[in-house]
């Protein structure tokens, strides 16, 4: 299952108009076909302004592997916590039959 990842490109606010237009054209030409690109002006007078372009791209295999590893670790941690709580409370939780698969507690 492939996912889309939101990617960001920041441009400094101290570019000439010609440099800015050229940079925007380069970015636009390099975007994936279904990028859903969005341009925003961010920042303030204290920290400075920047133009941010966000767009979606397909997740790489490496990113998918890392995400899967973290998702598996998170699921295992939740299962350990559930088992610990069940042992403390002396109850057993199981998935109910049917489409909804609600959690039922049997004491």
| C-alpha distances in Å from residue 31, one per residue of 20, 21, 64 | 17, 16, 21
The pLDDT-based confidence of 1 (bands split at 50, 70, 90) is very low
Give me Rg for the CA atoms of the chain: 24
pLDDT digits (tens, 9 = 90+) for 45-79: 888 778 888 888 888 889 888 888 888 888 889 88
Q: Which two tokens stand for residue 60?
A: 């790489």
Question: Higher model confidence: residue 92 or residue 43?
Answer: 43
| C-alpha distances in Å from residue 20, one per residue of 11, 15, 41, 50, 92 | 8, 6, 13, 11, 62
Write down the pTM of the prediction.
0.51
For the cut 60, the answer to whether the pLDDT of residue 107 exceeds it is no
Q: Taking the CA of residue 55 as centre, how many other CA atoms within 13 Å lie in the half-sphere pointing to its CB?
A: 17
For the cut 80, the answer to whether the pLDDT of residue 98 exceeds it is no
What phi-psi label fits residue 105: left (phi over 0), alpha (psi between -120 and 50 degrees) or beta? beta
For the cut 50, the answer to whether the pLDDT of residue 9 exceeds it is yes
């Amino acid at each position: 299952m492939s996912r889309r990842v939101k990617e960001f490109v920041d441009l400094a606010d101290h570019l000439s108009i010609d440099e800015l237009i050229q940079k925007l054209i380069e970015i636009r030409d390099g975007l994936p076909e279904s990028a859903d690109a969005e341009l925003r002006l961010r920042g303030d007078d204290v920290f400075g302004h920047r133009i941010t372009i966000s767009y979606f791209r397909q997740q790489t295999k490496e990113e998918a592997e890392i995400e899967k590893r973290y998702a598996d670790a998170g699921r295992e941690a939740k299962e350990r916590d559930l088992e610990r709580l069940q042992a403390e409370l002396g109850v057993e939780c199981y998935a109910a039959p049917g489409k909804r698969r609600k959690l039922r507690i049997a004491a």
